Amino acid sequence: MNRPSISVVFISFILLQLNFSVAISQSTNQFDQSGRGAVLCIHWINAVRHEIARVCYPNRDKPIVDALRWSLDEHEKFIARNSELSLEQVKLRTFQLSKSAFNDETDSPICVNVAKNAMELYHPTHTNEERILLAKEIRKNTSHILEIDRNPLMNPCL
């Protein structure tokens, strides 16, 4: 079976995110000036991280899966509140972003086939203590990022 290269998969991430930016009527050359971070960028990263943790490490990384799901829920509400998209539209886009973590065009098991660029966004932890600390950090950072209502932007991203 013909498999797309990692760069093709990464480009699909970017195209999905640009589509998200356009859907909320923003220019892709706008930059977040809040000092809190680009909401759409963090949302995209967390969607990919959540899907990898949920599918590839469901039992082992449960605290992280739960924290990322909570973070995505909070981001979705923020984006819907601060854009022209409904909550349902934002949830659909989150689903599309999360699925972009995997290359569906191969016959390999899904977790063996995570795009390299996507896997670099999710670093599996080794101890339960690390998982709990990371889950707390995800919740704390999400609260900080979303504390100030503003236009959800993609840039600066990474």
pLDDT of residue 1 exceeding 50, the answer is no
Considering the domain boundaries, does residue 97 fall inside one? yes
The reported pLDDT for the residue numbered 139 is 96
Rg (CA), the chain: 15
Report how many domains make up the chain: 1
Considering the domain boundaries, does residue 153 fall inside one? no
Considering the domain boundaries, does residue 33 fall inside one? yes
CA distances from 30 to 74, 90, 102, 105, 124 (A): 22, 20, 28, 34, 33
**What is the longest distance spanned by two Cα atoms in the chain?**
47
Torsions phi, psi for 90 (to 5 deg) = -65, -45
Considering the domain boundaries, does residue 156 fall inside one? no
Considering the domain boundaries, does residue 136 fall inside one? yes
> Which carries the bigger pLDDT value, residue 17 or residue 29?
29
Average pLDDT over residues 1-25: 47
Q: Is 99 helix (H, G, I), strand (E, B) or coil?
A: helix
Considering the domain boundaries, does residue 55 fall inside one? yes
| Structural domain range at position 18 | 6-145
> Which carries the bigger pLDDT value, residue 88 or residue 28?
88
